[in-house]
Amino acid sequence: MALNVLPTAVPIDFGPIDLPFVEQNLFDDLVVLLKEALGPSSGLTSADVNVNFLARLMKLYDSRDMNWSKYAFGDRSRGYTRNLVDEGNGKSNLLVLVWSPGKGSPIHDHGNAHCLMKILKGNLTETRYEFPQEGSAPGSMKVISEKTYQENQVAYMADELGLHRISNQGDDFAVSLHRKKNPSTKTTTTFVGRS
């Protein structure tokens, strides 16, 4: 699949990998680039994953509904739906999540894996929490920070940054793209009833 590039390549420093400047990164191209960046064996728990490079690839993509709408299926009765885009190398999935208005995820960790999220449509609010102290009572989750991400912004989360919850505080569906560790290899804890 050919990428749309400028006639003159302008290198961007992504660390050890050097790619030409991408003028218009179409969604299908992004899927291929993310898959190639992980290679045949790297999972999102691997030390050799260049998370900054993956995040920059996601930032280069300018969201257009027509590119990803075939993966976006909302359900107002749920907080969000997870729609598989690509199984990657079997160790991480690329998912489009559709967030119902006024709803969100439970508070959760990421099973010692990296998680990248790009907002494709709307706004999503991330609330980060400290891990609860052993023996703490339900409802005692301490908020570390809260930030609202807008369309085309990219967020990063890992367990060393705490727990988090994503919510759509808007009146319409919001859509995001996630590169996550494969659920079959994932050990994630949710903290239901603690918010």
pLDDT digits (tens, 9 = 90+) for 91-120: 778 999 999 999 999 988 877 778 899 999
Instruction: Tell me the percentage of the chain whose pLDDT exceeds 70.
Output: 74
Beta carbons of 179 and 54 less than 8 angstroms apart: yes
Where does residue 66 rank: exposed (0-12), middle (13-18), buried (19+ CB within 10 A)? exposed
159 confidence band (pLDDT: 50, 70, 90) = confident
Looking up tokens 């257009």 gives 64
What pLDDT, on a 0 to 100 scale, did the predictor assign at position 123?
98
37 confidence band (pLDDT: 50, 70, 90) = confident
Choose from 35-49, 56-70, 135-149 the range with maximum mean pLDDT: 56-70
* Domain membership flag for residue 118: yes
66 sits in which H/E element: helix 65-68
* Domain membership flag for residue 72: yes
Q: For residues 47 and 80, what is the distance between their CA atoms, to the nearest angstrom?
A: 30
14-18, 24-28, 92-96, 152-156: segment of lowest average pLDDT: 14-18
Task: Identify which has the larger pLDDT, 178 or 140.
Answer: 178
Choose from 135-139, 146-150, 162-166 the range with maximum mean pLDDT: 146-150
* Domain membership flag for residue 100: yes
Q: For residues 177 and 72, what is the distance between their CA atoms, to the nearest angstrom?
A: 10
The answer on pLDDT for 168 being more than 90 is yes
194 confidence band (pLDDT: 50, 70, 90) = very low
> How many Cα atoms are found within 13 Å in the side-chain-facing hemisphere of 55?
14
* Domain membership flag for residue 191: no
Q: How many domains does the chain have?
A: 1
* Domain membership flag for residue 195: no
68 confidence band (pLDDT: 50, 70, 90) = very high
What pLDDT, on a 0 to 100 scale, did the predictor assign at position 76?
93
Task: Identify which has the larger pLDDT, 171 or 158.
Answer: 171
Tell me, what CATH number does 85's domain have? Answer: 2.60.120.10
Q: Say whether 114 counts as a known binding-site residue.
A: no
* Domain membership flag for residue 7: no
What pLDDT, on a 0 to 100 scale, did the predictor assign at position 192?
53
Domain housing 66:
14-184
* Average pLDDT value for the chain: 79
What pLDDT, on a 0 to 100 scale, did the predictor assign at position 75?
94
Beta carbons of 117 and 177 less than 8 angstroms apart: yes
* Domain membership flag for residue 155: yes
Give the three-class secondary structure for 130: coil
* Domain membership flag for residue 3: no
68 sits in which H/E element: helix 65-68
CA distances from 192 to 96, 108, 145, 147 (A): 23, 8, 19, 21
Mean pLDDT across the stretch 159-181?
Answer: 90
Q: Say whether 178 counts as a known binding-site residue.
A: no
